[in-house]
Structure 1
């Protein structure tokens, strides 16, 4: 069999095995994502796997660079990748995706035992309070009369009536002029 036939057969098998499984996602015919653990779990991680043209005779490309993995330290990512590469080398030449996914699921605790969630940057300001690196958007301050006008325009549900922002066509044309005024 050629590499493409092996890939087609493995893809078909993966789609039938993981049909309806929210952990598995096919990005395209040679690229997949598989989440190990629950979404809420701090020890969960997402594997990005891409097949080269000669897969399964050559190793797939495995990545942990997904945004989902932002809270995992670089050391833990390196450990996971090195252990997965050992599994890849042991299964080289055969369809190995299912084996990799199941191995990662079974060994999640061992892979993540030294995991300490990475804290997103929080800076302390001079007054003792904390502020995040993102600036909060300031809401526009409205005067009492502006607020009153908004309330008067809305109905009892707080919604604006249909057509509140429509342009009065006659008034608009009288100000701008029509085609005949040229």
Structure 2
């Protein structure tokens, strides 16, 4: 079988195996992603595998530089990639995407053992300073409207003791409205009976 036929066969197998699995994602016919770990877990990451033209005769391309992995330290990324490359070398010439995903699942704890559970103090300080900068920026934008005594008195005269406008403040005077619009002319000519 040619490499293209092997890729097509593996594509069908992957889609049937991972059908309904929310952790699996097919970006293109040759690019697949799998999310390991739970959302919000500092050790969870997204693994992206791309096939080259001569895959499975050559190793797939491994990508750990996705936005989801921004919290993963570079040591862990390198460890995961090197472990996957070693595993892929054993499976050259055969379909290996499923095997690689399962290998990472089985060895997940060992692969992410160097990942810290929480952010370090320096990272926390950076996050706090960013949040404080955003808050001060937002505080500067809000300006209260300044009213004179006469304007305040006029507003208080328009509302009742509960701070609401009186009932009917926006009603239309029906008689005045009808006198402005005029009476309705009928389209039928009136005939007089004599």
TM-score, length-scaled by structure 2: 0.67
Give 3-state SS (helix, strand or coil) of 2:99's partner.
helix
Distance, in Å, in 1 between the alignment partners of 2:62 and 2:17 is 20
Q: Which residue of 2 aligns with 1:171?
A: none
Distance, in Å, in 2 between the alignment partners of 1:133 and 1:63 is 31
Distance, in Å, in 2 between the alignment partners of 1:45 and 1:33 is 10
Matches within 5 A, 1:143-154: 143=145
Deviation at 1:118, TM superposition (A): 5.3
Q: In the alignment, is the contact (CA less than 8 A) between 1:121 and 1:133 conserved in 2?
A: no
Q: Which runs of 4+ in 1 moved over 6 A?
A: none
Give 3-state SS (helix, strand or coil) of 2:129's partner.
strand
TM-score, length-scaled by structure 1: 0.71
Deviation at 1:72, TM superposition (A): 1.1
Say which of 125, 138, 142 aligns to 1:122.
Answer: 125
Give 3-state SS (helix, strand or coil) of 1:41's partner.
coil
Are positions 1:75 and 2:95 aligned together?
Answer: no
RMSD: 2.3
Deviation at 1:122, TM superposition (A): 3.2
Are positions 1:135 and 2:137 aligned together?
Answer: no
Give 3-state SS (helix, strand or coil) of 1:135's partner.
helix
Deviation at 1:114, TM superposition (A): 1.7
Q: In the alignment, is the contact (CA less than 8 A) between 1:70 and 1:118 conserved in 2?
A: no
Give 3-state SS (helix, strand or coil) of 1:53's partner.
coil
Give 3-state SS (helix, strand or coil) of 1:132's partner.
helix
Distance, in Å, in 2 between the alignment partners of 1:68 and 1:123 is 19
Can you give the 5+ residue segments of structure 1 that lack an aligned partner in the other structure?
125-129, 153-182
Alpha-carbon displacement from aligned partner over 1:14-69 (angstroms, at most 9, x marks no partner):
00100111111000000111111111221111111110011000110001001111
Q: In the alignment, is the contact (CA less than 8 A) between 1:49 and 1:61 conserved in 2?
A: yes
Q: Which residue of 2 aligns with 1:12?
A: 12
Deviation at 1:110, TM superposition (A): 0.7
Compare 113-122 and 11-20 and name the one that shifted more.
113-122
Number of positions where the alignment pairs a residue of Structure 1 with one of Structure 2: 142
Q: In the alignment, is the contact (CA less than 8 A) between 1:48 and 1:62 conserved in 2?
A: yes
Compare 134-143 and 102-111 and name the one that shifted more.
134-143
Question: Which structure features the higher share of helix residues?
Answer: 2
Q: Which has the larger radius of gyration?
A: 2
